[in-house]
Structure 1
Amino acid sequence: MDVGLMVAGFGNGDLAETAVRAEDRGYDAVWIGELWGASGVVQATEVACRTEEIDIGTAILNVYSRSPAVLAMTAASLENVSDGRFTLGLGTSTATAIEGLHGASFDRPVRRAHETIELIRAFTAGDGEPVDYEGELLEASSFPSLEVSVPIYHAGLGPANRRVVGRLADGWIPHNIPFSRLDEAFEEVAAAARERNRDPGAIEIAPYVPSAVSDDRDEARDTLRRHVAYYVGSGEGYRRAVATAFPDAADEVAEAWRDGEKRAAANAVTDEMLADLGVAGTPDEAREQLRTLVAETGIDHPIVVIPEPASSEMAETTIEALAPEAL
């Protein structure tokens, strides 16, 4: 089974060392996030230099804090240093991050994503012709395109952003869309692809799969509950995504979280929500859940994401239990 791993410095460990171990255990790709504290680009570069065959992707770089030209140069440089193993994963991030951290206006995120990806495509077309682009938000002129081909994935959550995936991207990184609704949500991607005479089947579906594995089944499930509660409670887009399958429960979780009742919010995450939003349990249970998930959905490349509340021991157990060689 093709499985990726979102790498982090679990227990203040070495992120690149985790990537090396993932390669040794047969993971097909490692994915590197970026929010605050460390540059995902620098970390991806270190991973590229310390690994040999495993694919490397960003999940995600936001489309506001770097210009399309910088993102294109970054992709070209990482594609070169990794010997062709790099995937540029992009997303809009959130208003909290873009406005509160980067001091930018979270203006027209869907259009921003569309024009950024379109312009990166132009900058990396490799035909040597000057790039002339005039969009509603972005423009460029006079600089020749780079000779590089880099896959671009987009973390489109809502319907409009999913259409951006269908029009322009090579892959889709959904997050917190219930797995039972994934095929239905992909129809928005597929319809947009067909409008552009693109093959929807060529667009890889690579969702985050929050995964908590422990010999203590209850501990693993509680960890995933807290992870789900955090996202449903702190992000309206995530609440809406979860509500496509669990409207009443999502509202209950969000209300408790907003009231500062984090434990109550976690307790409001039902067993049905756990089963539809992640993988949790003992090693044998978790492996069976992941195998079933991939077999029964359109998922091409599950990205194992270890929840923030997980202990270092649980992170290690999860990495080992869900490695392709163990599946």
Structure 2
Amino acid sequence: MPGADAADNVGFLLPQLGRDPADVAARAEDLGYDSVWLGELWFTASPVKLAQIVERTETVDVGSAILNTYSRSPAVLAMTAATLHRDSGGRFNLGLGTSTPKAVEDLHGMEFDDPNPARRLHECVELCREFFTGAGRVDYDGQVFHAADFPALGSDVPIYAAALGTANRRVVARLCDGWIPHNVPFPDLAESFDYIREHTPDERDAEDISVAPYVPAAVDEDPTEARDAIRGHVAYYVGNGDGYRRAVASRFPDGAEAVSEAWRSGERAAAREAVTDEMVDALGIAGTPEEAREQFDELCAMDVLDQPLVTIPQDASGVLDATIEALAPANR
């Protein structure tokens, strides 16, 4: 929600593994979170769980963060989003992204650079928008996608994009309702959004683009355990995706390189240890409940934020309860 106080518009990224996302979503709604989001990589089919979440909740916004633009066609994405939007009474947001070569090539067996990920994202968003709200019958002829002679769905679903590189951020500027950055150091978010602002066409207002960053968070009475959870989260993403590595390297070039080199050499413990205290502070929220709330309030005070999305490190599910409680709007 652009223009809203970020402290009053907090989202929660639901776990993909372990605890049932629908149960966590219902708890998040009770705790006053404004939105719940669910990603998808493997094991859990996100739209299936999102449908359950829509049924289990009443007022909280629901979103995909993220569905990739390779494993489903724009038509399937649009139908899925329109159905969830209709069944939720207009609460659904479609979050899209290009994912990583590892997921696209090794899991889905597709070519990541054909013709290029940013072009694919651009056309997917553009075509989904036509399927949602186009006038008459939809015809589209792009470099990647084609569609002909199908009626629009009549469902104005907001579209968010997880964009790190400049090409993907231009897609946000031109076409999207929201931006979901991940692993952009918090002090660099404003400058990163300035690039979006500079490339927003005259017919659009950049201030209408909601900035909804992932906020990796771990709350534990032992602050060392909490900070180690963030180290593991950063090491996993920097080690597995060049886009994430480049985002972190924009502020921590030596640190990102050390983490990436250790992870790709199979030295996972060394990769986590290479995440410095400065990196933890710039990329996550970690500490006791009191420390975490103070850090989160400072983050929410940043003018660029519209909707922080609290994110639990996937290999730190033991901190879920403490984190969702400590950072809940009802408890702050």
Same fold (TM over 0.5): yes
Question: Secondary structure of the equivalent of 2:32?
Answer: coil
Identity of aligned residues (%): 56
Correspondence for 1:316 among 303, 315, 321: 321
Which residue is equivalent to 1:182?
189
Deviation at 1:9, TM superposition (A): 5.9
- The one of the two structures with greater contact order (alpha-carbon pairs below 8 A, sep at least 6) is 2
How many Å separate the matches in 1 of 2:38 and 2:88? 14
> Does residue 1:325 correspond to 2:309, yes or no?
no
> Does residue 1:220 correspond to 2:200, yes or no?
no
Deviation at 1:187, TM superposition (A): 1.6
Which residue is equivalent to 1:89?
95
Question: Secondary structure of the equivalent of 2:163?
Answer: coil
Q: Which amino acid aligns with 2:11?
A: G
How many Å separate the matches in 2 of 1:82 and 1:116? 23
Deviation at 1:204, TM superposition (A): 0.3
Which residue is equivalent to 1:110?
118
Question: Secondary structure of the equivalent of 1:88?
Answer: strand
Deviation at 1:196, TM superposition (A): 4.6
How many Å separate the matches in 2 of 1:9 and 1:230? 15
**Contact conserved, 2:212 with 2:305, CA < 8 A, in 1?**
yes
Deviation at 1:296, TM superposition (A): 2.7
Which aligned pairs between 1:1-327 and structure 2 lie closer than 5 A?
1-8=8-15, 12-106=18-112, 107=114, 108-125=116-133, 127=135, 129-193=136-200, 195-312=201-318, 314-327=319-332
Deviation at 1:297, TM superposition (A): 4.5
Q: TM-score, normalised by structure 1?
A: 0.96
Query: Superposition RMSD on alpha carbons, in Å?
Result: 1.2
Q: TM-score, normalised by structure 2?
A: 0.95
Deviation at 1:139, TM superposition (A): 1.2
Deviation at 1:306, TM superposition (A): 0.3
* Number of aligned residues: 323
Q: Which amino acid aligns with 1:94?
A: T
**Contact conserved, 2:11 with 2:309, CA < 8 A, in 1?**
yes
Question: Secondary structure of the equivalent of 1:280?
Answer: strand
Q: Which amino acid aligns with 1:283?
A: P
Extract unaligned runs of 5+ from structure 2: 1-7
Report Cα offsets for 1:274-324 as digits up to 9, x if no partner. Answer: 111010000000011111011134111000110012142x11100100101
**Contact conserved, 2:226 with 2:286, CA < 8 A, in 1?**
yes
Q: Which amino acid aligns with 1:146?
A: L
Task: Name segments (4+ residues, structure 1) moved above 3 Å.
Answer: none
**Contact conserved, 1:179 with 1:297, CA < 8 A, in 2?**
no
**Contact conserved, 1:33 with 1:60, CA < 8 A, in 2?**
yes
How many Å separate the matches in 1 of 2:19 and 2:199? 42
